[in-house]
Structures are given as structure tokens and as C-alpha cells.
Amino acid sequence: MKLTFKFTTLIGIVSIVLNSPLSCIFMEIKDAVYIISSPSVDKCPKPDKPEYAFLGRSNVGKSSLINMLCNKRELAKVSANPGKTQMINHFEITSSKNSKWYLVDLPGYGFAVVSQKQRKGWEKMINDYIRQRENLANLFLLVDSRHEPQKKDIDFINKLGEWQIPFSIVFTKSDKNKPGATVRNVNDFMKALSRTWTELPVYFVSSATKGDGRKEILNYIEVLNTNV
């Protein structure tokens, strides 16, 4: 059975807005403030604002992407050692028109050097958050554009489809590749997804170093904010 993206109508709306050269929609972030790190979903802040979570395999460049989006170099902790993000980290964002929403930095999954017990604890915390957080407007799943499609990423995306979680994909580190390699890896990834999906999710190609993808991702959030 093929999977279907939850917000089919919204995909059309977003596609029109993001691809229109005449679009006047542009979000800019005015302020980003760290709020709290929570060990479980029930300890998270009151769900009174739209929430956008960022998740990916360890060392995918998640913290760098968050800092680039918020234009705040040290907002999220960047480390050369995978697995430094260990809790559900909430940041309150004030953006255009003084709208407020939460940005959430989730622990990475994959090859972080931690015990099996700790790894299972993180997995439960992430899954509980994704499935129970009632104000989660979108999950941004980060995928390293330097690599060919990885089974772990594909399997996780298929799980999101089964759970009917609204999500989009952000391919990171596009500046670390030759342009042709990035295009090839992204196309191969989406082709792999098409084997299990009737309609492919929205995706972005980004570079935290060059700022690529920033405008598109923030505009996407702006559109979602007007539809939640």
C-alpha cells in the first residue's frame, strides 16, 4: 500500500506561493529566544503556539541550519561530536507581523556514540513527541545531501506517513558537494520515496554556510502559520 501525504491541499497552496515570482510573502525572524529543554513531551511548554520541529540523523547539520534560519550563530549548540542534543529544546520565535511560534531542536538519530539504553530512551522521547505533540504544525526532516539514499532515512519517512505526521524534507550541506552530485542525490532520494508514496512531500535544498534555502523554508513556515 502506498502512503499519502497528509496535507495534500496545503501542498498545492505552498507550491504556488513558493514558486510564484510575484509573491510578496516573505518571513523574517525578528527574535529567537531559548525557552527550555524537556526530557519528555509532557514536560514541554504549553501547546499554545504553532510548532516546527527539526530532526535528522546525527551530524546532519541540524544546529547549523537552525542558526542560519534564525540568523543567530550560537542559538543552537554546534558540535563536531554527534549526539550533543539530548533533549527536546524549545525556542520562541518572533517573526514578521510579530507572530510568535516555537522552533524545536530534537535529538538526532543514527550513529551517536551512546549506550543502547540511552539510544532507546531518545527514540522513545522522539517518537512520543512526534505522535503526541498536538500543536506540531510541521516536522522538518533533515537529510545529508552528500550521500546516496540511506535506508534509515527512508524507513523513518515511511513511518511518518503511517503515523500521518505533517512533514517536509530539508537536504543539508549542499555546498559540500559538486552541484551535479547534489542534484543527483536529491533526485535519487525522491525516486526512492516514490516507491512507497503516491504523492511526494515538499522538500528544500539548503546550505547553512551560504544561506541557501533560508527564504524558502521561512516562507513555507509563514504559509503554514496562516493555515493552522
Establish if 28 belongs to a structural domain.
yes
What's the start-to-end Cα distance of the chain, in Å? 29
Establish if 138 belongs to a structural domain.
yes
What is the domain extent for residue 207?
A: 8-225
* pTM of the complete model: 0.88
Establish if 153 belongs to a structural domain.
yes
Q: What is the pLDDT along the chain (228 residues), one digit of tens a residue?
A: 566 655 444 444 454 444 544 345 678 999 999 999 999 999 999 999 999 999 998 889 999 999 999 998 888 765 445 445 689 999 999 998 889 999 999 987 765 566 778 778 888 999 999 999 999 999 999 999 999 999 999 999 999 999 999 999 999 999 998 879 999 999 999 999 999 999 999 999 999 999 999 999 999 999 999 886
Establish if 135 belongs to a structural domain.
yes
3 state SS of 182: helix
Establish if 3 belongs to a structural domain.
no
Q: Copy the grid coordinates of residue 94.
A: 518572533
Only one residue has cell 510548532, namely 51
Establish if 98 belongs to a structural domain.
yes
Establish if 85 belongs to a structural domain.
yes
**For residue 104, what is the domain's CATH number?**
3.40.50.300
Report the distance separating Cα 94 and Cα 119, nearest Å.
33
Only one residue has cell 550521500, namely 147
> Using an 8 Å Cβ cutoff, are 37 and 183 in contact?
no
Report the distance separating Cα 182 and Cα 171, nearest Å.
9
> Using an 8 Å Cβ cutoff, are 70 and 78 in contact?
no
